[in-house]
Structure 1
Amino acid sequence: MHIRGDHVELVVGGRLDVRSAADARTVLHSAVDDGVGDLVLDLTELDSWDATGLGVIMGAHRRAGRAGRRLVLRGVPAQMQRLLVATRLHRILAIEGGLAAESLPRV
């Protein structure tokens, strides 16, 4: 897993999982604490995440809210979009440009 960027935009790549969660949490919390306005997480380079990685994202979302900021996800891969829909987290998280139509449930 790698994260590069600053307190305005971070690019997250590789695997966000139980092995990388502690490092990711530290970087995300620092970015939230050191900035103002939206914090964009660009996930275009993210290969996968597990429940722990998703928990890190949700923790950063809550921390951003307490700091008067908004966490915005950008470039969420299709597989991860489907997970956000299945867990209904797409209703809570800000996702730039919305979700792809194939990720949404059929009515």
Structure 2
Amino acid sequence: MTGSPGPRLTVDVVNPGMRLRLKGRLDARSAPAARSGLHAAVDGGQGELVIEMNQLEIWDGAGLGVLVGTARRVRQGERQLVLTGVRARELRLLRVARVTWSSSVRAAALAG
């Protein structure tokens, strides 16, 4: 297989159990690691869980599934999920998957 796999996903813990920053590509390859990191944050905190998404690209259904599962887990834990810096493409995907129904989503600022 030739070509670059694209930017790898990193999950930066800004504030344990409360704020994460996702960078790179969320797809089938990175989904297991992302799921593990996100679930640990959900289980390890209280109140709002803020996920910064301005440097994230959702590339497939597996990546979207990780966010849907995280939103479900947050609800079950009686927490609030806040997604910040969401780009238009990802916002459309999150709306279709109904993640926006139970989460606070703050769109990315448009470059002007």
Instruction: Please state which band the TM-score falls in when normalised by the shorter chain.
Output: 0.7 to 0.9
- Alignment partner for residue 10 of structure 2, among 2, 11, 14? 2
CA RMSD between the two structures: 1.9
**Is residue 62 of structure 2 the alignment partner of residue 52 of structure 1?**
yes
Shift of residue 41, structure 1, vs aligned partner:
0.7
- After TM superposition, the structure 1 = structure 2 runs for residues 1-107 of structure 1, keeping only pairs within 5 Å, are 1-5=9-13, 6-85=16-95, 87=96, 89=98, 90-96=100-106
After superposition, the C-alpha distances for 1:7-50 in whole angstroms (9 at most, x for unaligned) are 11100010000000000000001000010001011001113332
Unaligned runs of 5+ in 2: 1-8
| 5+ residue gaps, structure 1 | 101-107
Query: How far has the Cα of 1:88 moved from its partner?
Result: 5.5
- Give the number of equivalent residue pairs: 98
Structure with more of its chain in strand, by fraction: 2
Q: How many angstroms does 1:84 deviate by? A: 2.7
1:69 offset after TM fit, Å?
0.6
TM-score (norm 2): 0.78
Question: How far has the Cα of 1:91 moved from its partner?
Answer: 3.0
Question: 1:13 touches 1:46 (CA, 8 Å); kept in 2?
Answer: yes
Overall identity of the aligned pairs, in %: 41
TM-score normalised to structure 1 length: 0.81
